[in-house]
């Protein structure tokens, strides 16, 4: 039996595009001589559909799409993911399901058992969990079909009380197949391989794991679909951050031996790979930085493509954050579609303007210089009767930032360029940014990237030659909102800051646990207070492209008025 994996990029609610991709994948599988082709979790409607699932019209559109797909299944089996109705009055109205289609009809249905309700996931809000388990019969083979989270209940502290494969194995299946929509983070590929490998070793069966690819607002899906044989050997790992297609002969998945079992450790969570085994050294190593770069480019590209946008705009300060966003955007959208706006004030250094201009010349993208001194002076003149003789403060600094935000949004409105936000995770964590100023934007490109990772990404970009001018990378970072200003005036050293932030945000460690790592108690308390006191700013921020396993946004829910550690 030949089985194909179709790793595709879907668009939530775009049934015409999704159905077209699936039908094309079926045709490709037929041409390859496949008996069965496997698609991904909720491929019919795109993942995650969120509250679209509450609309009966949306579910009807899913059903219509399934019927259209079924019409193309003559002579081939097709496994697709779709929401389906719960015909029982008890429980929620929908299941997250996998349908086996063949010869124009639905030949089998599997319901997802384990519904994640943590981090970015909210499936229990919509779906009823499966309460019975059976294999699907297909051409003389028994298929143990599961859906994404169904295979993640492993390790010493499982999240759920039921493991679907423990039930399915009772029917003596011949093969495990998982339809997945597993989002990217910089530890996920390691954990994903570990989970699949652990299943093949535990149950003595091969596994085919088909994962979606593409970005949906802030969530990036990286693909990396897998085939493991019955002895825990990896047979195939599909491409990352792009669509892919692979056909495997089932009989070949029973020929391996377990000689690789001891070569790699098995991890069941991102924290096992990461925290406790590394700090920023791991987050900034070459492999992870390359992955993060690819994820950010895909996040920008799909956000624009799926929203129908073509052109971007950003404020180019001559600093490393805006420089990095500019490079990523040019890679994602093309140099002609990225407009850099330089907005110097009387506090901007000459080299900042020169550095920003040189970057645009290196990349070949259009740019303009719009000084803000006259705008800033006009604000101060109008405010003088109210400000009186009070000393210069953050108020005057923020007027500059908001003046720039106003200019960028005016150009965005006039010409239709979508504003890319350039704030990094270290800044967002500590509140080092101006609401309605440099925190404005349609999409936060670096909001899940720490400052130390920003530098690592810049070095990665320049690995084969200078694209980002060296001076942008080596000069001390500064907002340039007052004479001689440096980030270090307001923030701790980034190496210390970012390590403490990682332990608190990703690791959920308390202050005493972080101090036990060797950090000064006063420094730890200061940083954690900055994080918690600035939750109100992050609540008003744009969507952030997620690359870590605990990003700001829907996956991290904190009260604005909470007192804890503030």
Both 252 and 295 in a single domain?
A: no
Asked if the model's pLDDT at residue 260 lies above 70, the reply is no
Over residues 265-289, mean pLDDT: 76
Over residues 186-198, mean pLDDT: 94
Torsion of CA 392, 394, 395, 400, to 10 degrees: 100
Please identify which of the residues 41, 123, 218, 237 carries the catalytic annotation.
41
- Do 173 and 135 contact (CB within 8 A), yes or no? yes
Confidence of residue 360 (pLDDT cuts 50, 70, 90): very high
**CATH number for 425:** 3.40.50.620
CA distance 375 to 344: 11
Q: Is 322 annotated as a binding residue?
A: yes
- Do 432 and 491 contact (CB within 8 A), yes or no? yes
State the pLDDT at residue 263: 59
CA distance 70 to 74: 8
- Nearest C-alpha neighbor of 43 from the set 14, 68, 67: 14
To which H or E segment does residue 542 belong? none
Asked if the model's pLDDT at residue 64 lies above 90, the reply is yes
Taking the alpha carbons at both ends of the chain, their separation in whole angstroms is: 60
- Do 506 and 429 contact (CB within 8 A), yes or no? no
Q: What is the pLDDT of residues 367-412, one digit of tens each?
A: 999 999 999 999 999 999 999 999 999 999 999 999 999 999 999 9
CA distance 186 to 195: 16
Question: In terms of pLDDT, which residue wins out, 129 or 484?
Answer: 129
Confidence of residue 257 (pLDDT cuts 50, 70, 90): low
Both 157 and 18 in a single domain?
A: yes
Confidence of residue 261 (pLDDT cuts 50, 70, 90): very low
Q: Is 148 one of the annotated active-site residues of the chain?
A: yes
- Do 200 and 257 contact (CB within 8 A), yes or no? no
State the pLDDT at residue 88: 94
Q: What is the pLDDT of residues 485-512, one digit of tens each?
A: 888 888 999 999 999 999 999 999 999 9
Three-state SS string over 75-138 comes to CCEEEEEEEEECCCCCCCCEEEEEEEEECCEEEEEEECCCCCCCCCCCHHHCECCCCCCCCEEE
Domain membership flag for residue 281: no
Domain membership flag for residue 432: yes
**3-class secondary structure, 44:** coil
Pick from 268, 294, 327: which residue ends a domain? 268
State the pLDDT at residue 256: 61
| Token reading at 369 | 């210089």
Return the ∠ at Cα 322 (arms to 317 and 324), rounded to 5°. 140
Domain membership flag for residue 532: no
Domain membership flag for residue 566: no
Q: Which residues, including other chains, have CB under 8 Å from residue 366's CB and lie 6 or more apart?
A: 336, 338, 339, 340, 360
Q: Is 249 one of the annotated active-site residues of the chain?
A: no
Please identify which of the residues 43, 62, 148, 542 carries the catalytic annotation.
148
Please identify which of the residues 43, 84, 112, 218 carries the catalytic annotation.
112
Q: Could you tell me how many helices (H) and strands (E) the chain has, helices first?
A: 18, 19
Average pLDDT value for the chain: 94
State the pLDDT at residue 262: 44
Question: In terms of pLDDT, which residue wins out, 188 or 487?
Answer: 188
Write out the residue range of the structural domain in which residue 195 sits. 2-268
Number of domains in the chain: 2
Both 261 and 310 in a single domain?
A: no
Q: What is the pLDDT of residues 79-89, one digit of tens each?
A: 999 999 999 99
Confidence of residue 211 (pLDDT cuts 50, 70, 90): very high
CA distance 438 to 372: 14
- CA 540 to chain CA centroid, Å, is 19
Domain membership flag for residue 546: no
State the pLDDT at residue 490: 85
Pick from 446, 463, 487: which residue ends a domain? 487
| Token reading at 280 | 């920023």
Asked if the model's pLDDT at residue 432 lies above 60, the reply is yes
Both 264 and 379 in a single domain?
A: no
**3-class secondary structure, 42:** coil
Q: Is 315 annotated as a binding residue?
A: yes
Question: In terms of pLDDT, which residue wins out, 275 or 514?
Answer: 514
Neighbouring CB atoms inside 10 A of 400's CB total 26
Both 345 and 219 in a single domain?
A: no
Both 77 and 107 in a single domain?
A: yes
- Do 129 and 158 contact (CB within 8 A), yes or no? no
| Token reading at 173 | 């299946």
- Do 356 and 342 contact (CB within 8 A), yes or no? yes
**CATH number for 240:** 3.60.110.10
Asked if the model's pLDDT at residue 413 lies above 50, the reply is yes
Q: Is 537 annotated as a binding residue?
A: yes
Domain membership flag for residue 292: yes
State the pLDDT at residue 265: 74
Q: Is 398 annotated as a binding residue?
A: yes
Question: In terms of pLDDT, which residue wins out, 271 or 505?
Answer: 505
CA distance 267 to 157: 12
Q: Is 437 annotated as a binding residue?
A: no
- Nearest C-alpha neighbor of 398 from the set 476, 479, 333: 479
Domain membership flag for residue 483: yes
State the pLDDT at residue 269: 83
Both 101 and 145 in a single domain?
A: yes
Q: What percent of the chain has pLDDT over 70?
A: 97
State the pLDDT at residue 279: 65
- Nearest C-alpha neighbor of 212 from the set 245, 176, 178, 180: 180
Domain membership flag for residue 499: no
State the pLDDT at residue 481: 79
Asked if the model's pLDDT at residue 155 lies above 90, the reply is no
Both 182 and 255 in a single domain?
A: yes
State the pLDDT at residue 259: 47
Pick from 458, 487, 516: which residue ends a domain? 487
Asked if the model's pLDDT at residue 274 lies above 90, the reply is no
Q: Is 24 annotated as a binding residue?
A: no
Over residues 407-431, mean pLDDT: 98
Both 248 and 117 in a single domain?
A: yes
CA distance 336 to 282: 35
Both 246 and 320 in a single domain?
A: no
Both 155 and 26 in a single domain?
A: yes
Question: In terms of pLDDT, which residue wins out, 417 or 281?
Answer: 417
State the pLDDT at residue 275: 58
- Do 148 and 178 contact (CB within 8 A), yes or no? yes
Both 202 and 320 in a single domain?
A: no
Over residues 72-96, mean pLDDT: 97
State the pLDDT at residue 281: 79
State the pLDDT at residue 278: 58
CA distance 32 to 4: 8
Confidence of residue 33 (pLDDT cuts 50, 70, 90): very high
Max Cα–Cα distance, the chain, nearest Å: 87
């Amino acid at each position: 039996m030949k089985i194909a994996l179709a790793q595709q990029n879907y668009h939530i609610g775009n049934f015409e595009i999704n159905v077209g991709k699936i039908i094309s994948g079926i045709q490709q599988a037929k041409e390859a001589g496949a008996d069965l082709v496997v698609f991904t979790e909720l491929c019919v409607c795109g993942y995650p559909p969120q509250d679209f699932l509450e609309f009966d019209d949306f579910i009807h559109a899913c059903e219509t799409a399934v019927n259209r797909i079924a019409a193309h299944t003559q002579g081939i089996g097709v496994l697709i993911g779709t929401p389906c109705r719960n015909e029982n009055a008890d429980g929620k109205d929908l299941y997250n399901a996998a349908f086996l289609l063949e010869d124009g009809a639905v030949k089998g249905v599997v319901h997802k058992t384990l519904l994640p309700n943590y981090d970015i996931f909210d499936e229990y809000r919509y779906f009823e969990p499966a309460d019975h388990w059976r294999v699907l019969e297909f051409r003389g083979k028994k298929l143990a079909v599961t859906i994404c989270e169904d295979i993640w209940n492993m390790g010493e502290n499982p999240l759920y009380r039921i493991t679907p494969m423990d039930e399915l194995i009772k029917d003596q299946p011949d093969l495990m197949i998982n339809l997945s929509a597993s989002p990217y983070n910089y530890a996920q590929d390691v954990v994903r391989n570990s989970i699949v490998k652990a299943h093949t070793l535990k149950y003595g069966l091969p596994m085919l794991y088909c994962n979606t690819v593409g970005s949906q607002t802030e969530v990036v899906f990286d693909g990396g679909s897998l085939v493991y044989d019955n002895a825990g050997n990896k047979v195939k790992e599909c491409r990352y951050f792009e669509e892919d297609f692979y056909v495997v002969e089932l009989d070949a998945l029973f020929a391996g031996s377990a000689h690789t079992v001891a070569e790699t450790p098995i991890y069941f969570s991102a924290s096992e790979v990461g925290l406790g085994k590394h700090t920023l050294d791991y987050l900034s190593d070459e492999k992870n930085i390359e992955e993060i770069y690819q994820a950010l480019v895909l996040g920008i590209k799909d956000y624009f493509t799926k929203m129908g946008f073509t052109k971007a705009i950003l404020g180019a300060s001559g600093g490393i954050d805006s420089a990095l966003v500019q490079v990523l955007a040019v890679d994602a959208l093309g140099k002609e579609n990225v407009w850099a706006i330089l907005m110097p004030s009387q506090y901007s250094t000459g080299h900042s303007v020169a550095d920003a201009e040189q970057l645009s010349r290196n990349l070949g993208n259009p740019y303009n210089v719009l000084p803000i001194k006259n705008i800033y002076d006009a604000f101060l003149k109008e405010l003088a009767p109210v400000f009186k003789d009070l000393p210069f403060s953050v108020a005057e600094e923020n007027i500059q930032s908001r003046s720039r935000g106003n200019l960028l949004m005016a150009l965005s409105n006039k010409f239709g360029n979508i504003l890319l936000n350039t704030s990094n995770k270290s800044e967002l964590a500590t509140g080092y940014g101006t609401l309605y100023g440099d925190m404005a934007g349609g999409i936060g490109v670096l909001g899940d990237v720490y400052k130390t990772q920003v530098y690592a990404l810049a070095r990665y970009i320049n690995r084969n030659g200078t694209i980002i001018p060296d001076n942008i990378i080596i000069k001390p970072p500064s907002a340039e909102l007052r004479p001689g200003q440096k980030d270090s005036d307001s923030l701790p050293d980034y190496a210390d800051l970012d390590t403490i932030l990682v332990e608190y945000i990703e690791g959920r460690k308390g202050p005493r646990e972080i101090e036990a790592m060797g950090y000064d108690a006063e420094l730890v308390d200061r940083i954690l207070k900055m994080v918690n006191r600035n939750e109100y700013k992050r609540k008003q921020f744009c969507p952030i492209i997620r690359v870590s396993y605990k990003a700001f946004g829907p996956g991290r829910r904190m009260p604005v008025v909470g007192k804890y550690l503030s």
